[in-house]
Structure formats: C-alpha cells, structure tokens
Amino acid sequence: MSVKTKLTCIISFIVFVLLILNVILNEYSTRVNLRSETEKELAQSAEQMSSSIDRYNNGVRLIDFTLQDKLKAASGAVSVTLAQSANRLNQQELQALAKQLGLAEITILLPDGHGQYAIGPSSVEHSSAIANSVWTADPSRIQALAEEGAEPVIGSTVQHGEADAQSGERWSYVYNAAHHVIISCRAIDNLSSRFAGAMGPDSAISVMIADNPAILEITVFEARSASPANERDGTGANRLFGGSLYADAQDTAYVTEAAEGTPIYRDAELQGRQVIKGYFRPNAEDGYVLEIVMDKGPMMQQVWEQRKTQIWIAACLLLILVIGSYWIAGMLMQPINDVLWKINEVSFGRFDDAIQVKRKDEFGQLANRVNAMSKNLSIYMAKLKVSFEENRAMKEYLESFINHTTDAIHVVDLEGRILQVNRAFERMFGYAADEAVGRMLPLVPEQLLGEEQEALNWLKSGRLLNTRETVRVTKGGEWIDVSITTSPIRDQHGDLNALASITRDVTSRNKMEELLRRSEKLTTVGQLAAGVAHEIRNPLTTLRGFLQLQQETGKLNTRHIDIMLSELDRINLIVGEFLILAKPQATRFETKDVRYVFGDVISLLDSQAHLCDIMFKIDFTTDTCIISCEENQLKQVFINVLKNAIEAMPEGGEITIRIARLNARNVSLTIMDQGIGIPEEMIPKLGDPFFTGKETGTGLGLMVSQRIIQSHQGTLEIASEVGVGTTVTITLPLGEQPNVSGEGEGSQNRVQ
C-alpha cells in the first residue's frame, strides 16, 4: 500500500472516529437533557398532586371539625335534657332527641358498680357504644371522664381517606356529673364521601393524567421510614390512592427510601413499556409518598430522530473527506521523493550533493532543512572525531587519578559483587584486581554484616549515608580500622545500579585519639579526686567536732545527730555522682520522639511543681521530632534542668517548655524559668566539677548533663539574667542514622 493511500486511510479513519464520537456525544447530551426535563416534569407533577392532596386534606379536616362541634353541642343538649327530666330518658325520648339533633344514635352508659360502664337507655335496639373501635381502643381513657375537668372524648371508627370508606362514623363520650353517667352520641359523616368524590386524590389523579398523556399512572403510598421497625414482610407498600397497573416488587424499597425526603428516579420495563418512575415526598410533615409513572416512548422517539440526522450528516462529511484527502495526499507526496534521495545519500556518508529546491512552502523548507542537516552532519562528524580523542584522554586521566590515590576505591553491584578496584585497594586489602573483580569478598566481619545491610538499605531508600568509621578484614585476616564513604551510582533514569566506596585506613589515627582520651580521663580523675577530697574534708571536720563535743559532755544531742546524718548524706551524694562520672556506662541508642520523652519527665515532676506553686507552660510543635538517643540519659538531663528551674523559684511562678524544629536537621528544646537568675560571671564556670551556686548542690549534675548531650551530638546553652530568670536551650540532631560505626556496643555508646 502506497503512502498516498495510507495517508488517505489514516485521515479518513481519524475523521470517522471523530464523527462517531460526535454522534455519540450528541446522543448522550440529548438523552441527558431529555432525562433532566422529564425529571423536572415529574417533580412539577408531584408538586401539583401534593397541592391537590393538601387541599383535599384541609377540606376533610374542616368537615371533621364541624362534625366534632356538632357532637359536642349535641352532647351538651342531651346533658341539659337529662338534667331537666326527673327520670332518666327512655328509648322513645332518646329517639326523638336524636332525630331533633340530627344524630344517628344516643346511648346512656351506666356504671355497673365495679368501676366499669354498661349500656343503658339507647335510641337504637342494639347499641355499639361500647363495642366500637373508639371505646375499645382506649377504654381507660374514656372511663377517666369522671375526673374533674376531663375533656370529652371524640373519635372516628372509619378513617377518612381510606380506599374502602363509603361513610364515616364519629362518636363522642361526655360525663354527666349530676347523674354519674356517660352520654354517648354517634353521628354519620356523609359529606366526606361526597367531598372525596369531587375533590379527592383519585379525582385529581384522573385530571392530571388526562392533561398529560405521557403520565401513565399516579399512586399515593403511605410514607414509612427505613427503620427496622417499619420494614415490611414482602407484602408491598401500603397504597392509599391511585392505580397499581405499573406496580412491581421494588416499589416498597423505593417508597421507603423516598420517605426520607430525597426524590428517586428509576427506569423500568412494565406492561411492555419502557417507563420512568419517580418517587417523591413533597412535604416531610405529610404521611404519604407519590409515585408517578411516565412513558419513555416520546423521549426515546426524539433521541432516535436526532441519531438519524447526525448519522446522515456524518456519512456525507466522511465521503467528501475521503475524496478530498486522496487528492491532497497525491499533491503532498510529489516533493517527498527528492527528500528520500538526499537521505539515501547521507546514509552512505555522501554529504556534498544537495536537493534542488523549487518550492517555497513547507516542503521547500523541508528540502532546505535536509540540505542544512547534511552540511551540519559533515561538520559534526569532524567534531565527533576530536571529541572522541578528548574523551579517551580524559578516561586515561581519571584512571590515573583513581589508581594513584592513597584511598582504596572499589565499586560493587547491588548483590555485593565487586565491579572495579584501584591499586590502593589492592595494597590495603591484599587482593589483586583479577582476584577481586566479579567476586563477593569477605571484607566485612560477620558481626557487622547486619550494619552493612542496614547501610545498603539506607542508600536504596534514596537517602545519603554519612562517612562512618568501622572495621574491615584484609585477605590475611587482619582487622583494620577504616573510615568509609559510600555513594550511590545511578543510571540515566535515576535508578540505583551500583555503589562506590572510598576507604581510608584510620588505625594510626584511632590509636593517637585513644591516647588522648586516656590522658583526658587521667586529668579528669585527678581533678575529681582533688575536688572530692576537698568536699569530703569539710563534712568530716564537722562530724569530728561534734563527736569530740559528745565525748566531753558524755551526752547525745538529737540536733547534733541530725546535723551529722545530713553531712553523711552529702558525702554519699558527692561520692555517688563522682562514680557516675568515673565509671563508663554502657547504653543503647534508640529512635524516640523527644516530645514524648519530655512529656514523661513533665508528668513525673508535675506533682513537685504544684507543691512549689509552679505551673508548667507547654508549647510543643505538632511536627514529629524523631531523634536517636538513650532515653534514660535524656530523661536524667531533663530532670536535672527542670529541678534546677524549680529550685530557682522559691516564690513559685511559671516554667515555659518549648520544643520546635529549627530546620530539617535539628530540634530545639527551650526551658525558661522566672527564678532568681545566675550572675553573668558565673555562667562560664557552669559545668566545672563541684562548681555550684546552690547551698546544697555538688556541681556534678550539670557536668553530667553536658556530657550526655555531647554524646548525643547536641549542644546545651545557658542564658540568664539576675532577677528575671534563666533560659536553657538544648539542640539535638533530627533523623535516624543506621548504626554502622562498628566500634562495638560498649565503645560507641559510652557516656563519658
């Protein structure tokens, strides 16, 4: 198939798809619009029907109120007649009175002596005054008429609006205190049935269906909520008015759902017709749901007419386009041959011959571009040769740099196989290049394999790994202390495919640092020993003096004994804190949220603060503040700082504690008190052994706290103003780092 034919087919196919999409979208839009208009029409019909039902209900209520007033007046007339008669009324008198008052029945209910009532004189042979539904529904309420001020009871035995109601009976029960009887009156409601025939829902439904032929049926159901107590047992919704020709088994569920107040529309196929059913509850106070069934035939007929018109237009446009595109494709393909000839020349490396350009349109521009491309390729080929030589020279330079550096460099893949090493690697570890490349060498001691895997996972997650000091094993089995920097190597897509490690032997440096640490320890121990000796000498002198005094007097003084015990406790405190400084403490760092650690300390000291009339004001950031720490040591620091703040506020006050992230790497903890403050000349000396500004202090607590913060790679700063208060700021590093130091548990976690 030629390009000309392919181009015509492609253009025709694209336009055909667009035309089909246009037909589909137009039909969809038509359906949506017609459906929206149908739903609006259903809603309007429901509102009209609701208005008709409301007018009917208002008329029924007016008839009921009129009949109730009639019964109340008739009961009053019977009471008056009964009061005027010396004897109780007989049947003939009651019949005459009923006829005069327009009542169907008058019955006197007499007490039977057992708290109940029985039928007495009546205007009819067989009275139903006690057997009707008004009496039997709540006889206790009717019998309570004898209570003072009780209202007459009026009720209906047939509810107005029921489909099978021809007429309605209404009863009234009035207590006559003079004769201790209940007067029962019954009236027949004939007006309601005539009103229902003229203005009832069935009449309104007939009128609405006649005015709108698209409406097939309107049904009024009893409204029921979706509560379990109102779920039906499969017998269907309770229909009040309207037809049931288009009813189906799903009506009950939709009527129940619509009773919640949301209109519902659904499509169905009933009686051989496609219909739309709408369920409405126009007013939440009304106890009914309207179902309106509308024929979809007119709507579908409009959709079909629209579809035929769109298809006819699309077919005509497609035919015109096929003919036009074939002619245009023939014109476009004429200059393509010249371009193909030039491209063939370029593919064989011949750049000299050019296309003879005779056109000024896009194809002429294309021919000019091809000529320019041929010329540029000739230039670029020459430059490429020069660049190739430069790259070769750069490669040799980099290889020389890597092979002559004193740091060992090796590259491994993600499985641990070595891909490349330099000469320093061969000298440091004793492996030749051909021995190392392609193999997994046992450079990492077995006890550090977990740390190495953790570092690898750290790099795979996309994070950078800091330079770390650890231990490696040479070919001869010798352990050497090294400093390693590992960097990821990624491809052009950013995917990790190798790791490059630069290893430096730090064995000699570590030995010198160890000697310096030992020298520091000896100096510190000397200072501590001198300080402890000085501090212990004073309480011992006091104890000796009191003991000598007791020897001279031969009596024991309780106050003197208390002072001696206090001084002994001070000696124990000094010696205990001295031991904390002198003995290395093995710790294990864990990742914790510093907010929760400080929160535990606040809970611990809250009671003591209340006793001293001190309140904690807390301002913690909502961001997570994860740090790597030894929780108990940090708690010791926070307790020391808070206790100093409490002791500095003898009159009470407020301690503000604020935790905030300074940046992506550090978190700041600030403790501000309102105490007596520290003189400016004393601040530089804080943290020295046995230097304290408190009468009972040892000067060791702050020194221990500073050492703990230093072991956590943090800082502790103190700012104070006499009479205003003191601010302690602790800064700690954020984020977790894998435990890859390789110095062992005892050495890497030691608190000096």
Least confident of 86-100, 326-340, 408-422, 664-678: 326-340
Instruction: Give the span between the Cα atoms of 267 and 530, in whole angstroms.
Output: 98
β-pair partners for 557: none
Q: And the tokens for 366?
A: 């294309």
Q: Which pLDDT score, from 0 to 100, does residue 670 have?
A: 94
pLDDT greater than 60 at residue 315: yes
Q: Which pLDDT score, from 0 to 100, does residue 669 have?
A: 93
Least confident of 227-231, 435-439, 534-538, 655-659: 227-231
Alpha helices of 85-241 — where are they, by DSSP H? 91-101, 133-137, 139-143, 191-199, 201-211
pLDDT greater than 50 at residue 456: yes
**Overall residue count recorded for the chain in this entry:** 752
509 Cβ neighbours under 8 A, 6+ residues apart: none
- Residue 672's H or E segment, with its range, is strand 666-672
Identify the residue with better confidence: 487 or 89: 487
| 651 and 696 inside one domain | yes
Identify the residue with better confidence: 746 or 106: 106
CB of 621 closer than 8 Å to CB of 583: no
> Pairing between strand 479-490 and 468-473?
antiparallel
Least confident of 250-254, 373-377, 419-423: 373-377
Q: Is residue 225 assigned to a domain?
A: yes
Q: Which pLDDT score, from 0 to 100, does residue 727 have?
A: 93
pLDDT greater than 60 at residue 752: no
> What SS3 class is residue 490?
strand
pLDDT greater than 60 at residue 581: no
In whole angstroms, what separates CA 717 from the centre of its chain?
Answer: 40
Q: Is residue 701 assigned to a domain?
A: yes
In whole angstroms, what separates CA 567 from the centre of its chain?
Answer: 61
Identify the residue with better confidence: 547 or 744: 547
Q: Which pLDDT score, from 0 to 100, does residue 584 have?
A: 47
| 272 and 168 inside one domain | no
| 699 and 601 inside one domain | yes
Of the candidates 594, 575, 579, 573, the residue with the CA atom closest to the CA atom of residue 709: 594
Q: Is residue 289 assigned to a domain?
A: yes
| 540 and 610 inside one domain | no
For residue 126, give the amino acid letter: H
* pLDDT, tens digit (0-9, with 9 covering 90-100), for 127-159: 888 888 788 877 777 877 777 666 777 777 654
Q: Which pLDDT score, from 0 to 100, does residue 730 have?
A: 93
CA dist list (Å): 579 to 39, 507, 686, 704: 88, 31, 20, 11
Number of structural domains found in the chain? 5
- 273 φ, ψ (degrees, to nearest 5): -130, 150
Q: Is residue 288 assigned to a domain?
A: yes
Contacts made by residues 393-402, CB under 8 angstroms, sequence distance 24+: none
Q: Which pLDDT score, from 0 to 100, does residue 729 have?
A: 93
Of the candidates 692, 656, 658, 650, the residue with the CA atom closest to the CA atom of residue 673: 656
In a 13 Å sphere around the CA of 327, the CA atoms on its Cβ side amount to 6
Instruction: Give the span between the Cα atoms of 215 and 211, in whole angstroms.
Output: 9
Cross-sheet strand order for the sheet of 408-413? 418-421, 408-413, 496-505, 479-490, 468-473
| 491 and 622 inside one domain | no
Instruction: Give the span between the Cα atoms of 176 and 338, in whole angstroms.
Output: 122
Domain range enclosing 248 = 213-295
In 39-48, which positions are buried (b, 16+ CB within 10 angstroms) versus exposed (e)?
A: eebbbebbeb
Q: And the tokens for 563?
A: 């002072």
Instruction: Give the span between the Cα atoms of 340 and 346, in whole angstroms.
Output: 10
For residue 494, give the amino acid letter: G
- Within 10 angstroms of residue 723's Cβ, the number of other Cβ atoms is 8
Instruction: Give the span between the Cα atoms of 182 and 145, in whole angstroms.
Output: 8
Q: Which pLDDT score, from 0 to 100, does residue 507 have?
A: 75
* pLDDT, tens digit (0-9, with 9 covering 90-100), for 718-729: 898 888 899 999
- Residue 468's H or E segment, with its range, is strand 468-473
CA quadruple 365, 368, 373, 374: dihedral positive or negative?
Answer: positive
Least confident of 332-336, 671-675, 693-697: 693-697
For 511-562, what is the HEC assignment? HHHHHHHHHHHHHHHHHHHHHHHHHHHHHHHHHHHHHHHHHHHCCCCHHHHH
Least confident of 117-121, 188-192, 454-458: 188-192
| 429 and 548 inside one domain | no
Of the candidates 742, 233, 732, 273, the residue with the CA atom closest to the CA atom of residue 507: 742
Place of tokens 């800091």: 466
Q: What angle do helix axes 631-647 and 594-611 make, rounded to 10 degrees?
A: 30
Domain boundary among 563, 582, 601: 582
Instruction: Give the span between the Cα atoms of 99 and 84, in whole angstroms.
Output: 19
> Cα Rg for the chain, rounded, in angstroms?
52
Q: Which pLDDT score, from 0 to 100, does residue 656 have?
A: 93
CATH number of the domain where residue 572 is located: 1.10.287
Q: Is residue 378 assigned to a domain?
A: no
- Environment class of 82 (CB within 10 Å of its CB; exposed 0-12, middle 13-18, buried 19+): buried
Least confident of 340-344, 453-457, 654-658: 340-344
**Percent of the chain predicted with pLDDT > 90:** 5
CATH number of the domain where residue 245 is located: 3.30.450
| End-to-end alpha carbon distance in the chain | 86
| 473 and 526 inside one domain | no
Bin 677: left if φ > 0, else alpha if -120 < ψ < 50, else beta: left
**Percent of the chain predicted with pLDDT > 70:** 78
pLDDT greater than 50 at residue 16: yes
Q: Is residue 394 assigned to a domain?
A: no
Q: And the tokens for 701?
A: 């607590």
Instruction: Give the span between the Cα atoms of 236 and 227, in whole angstroms.
Output: 16
| 31 and 75 inside one domain | yes
Q: Which pLDDT score, from 0 to 100, does residue 87 have?
A: 60
Q: And the tokens for 210?
A: 């006649």
Identify the residue with better confidence: 227 or 515: 515
pLDDT greater than 70 at residue 572: no
CB of 268 closer than 8 Å to CB of 275: yes
Can you spell out the DSSP letters for 259-285?
TTT--EEEEEEETTEEEEEEEE-S-TT
Q: Which pLDDT score, from 0 to 100, does residue 738 have?
A: 41
CB of 279 closer than 8 Å to CB of 258: yes
> What SS3 class is residue 500?
strand
| 28 and 163 inside one domain | yes
Instruction: Quickly state the pLDDT bin for 267 (edges 50, 70, 90).
Output: confident
* Mean pLDDT (whole number) for 174-190: 82
| 426 and 549 inside one domain | no
Of the candidates 206, 284, 214, 270, the residue with the CA atom closest to the CA atom of residue 241: 206
CATH number of the domain where residue 479 is located: 3.30.450.20
| 569 and 706 inside one domain | no
For residue 423, give the amino acid letter: R
Q: Is residue 653 assigned to a domain?
A: yes
Domain boundary among 582, 617, 643: 582
Q: What angle do helix axes 201-211 and 191-199 make, rounded to 10 degrees?
A: 10
CB of 296 closer than 8 Å to CB of 35: no
CB of 237 closer than 8 Å to CB of 254: no
DSSP designation for 680: G
| 607 and 564 inside one domain | no
CB of 459 closer than 8 Å to CB of 496: yes
Place of tokens 């046995």: 690
For 592-649, what is the HEC assignment? EEHHHHHHHHHHHHHHHHHHCCEEEEEEECCCCCEEEECHHHHHHHHHHHHHHHHHCC
* pLDDT, tens digit (0-9, with 9 covering 90-100), for 37-85: 888 888 888 888 888 888 877 877 787 788 888 888 888 888 888 776 6
Q: Is residue 400 assigned to a domain?
A: no
Domain boundary among 582, 600, 620: 582
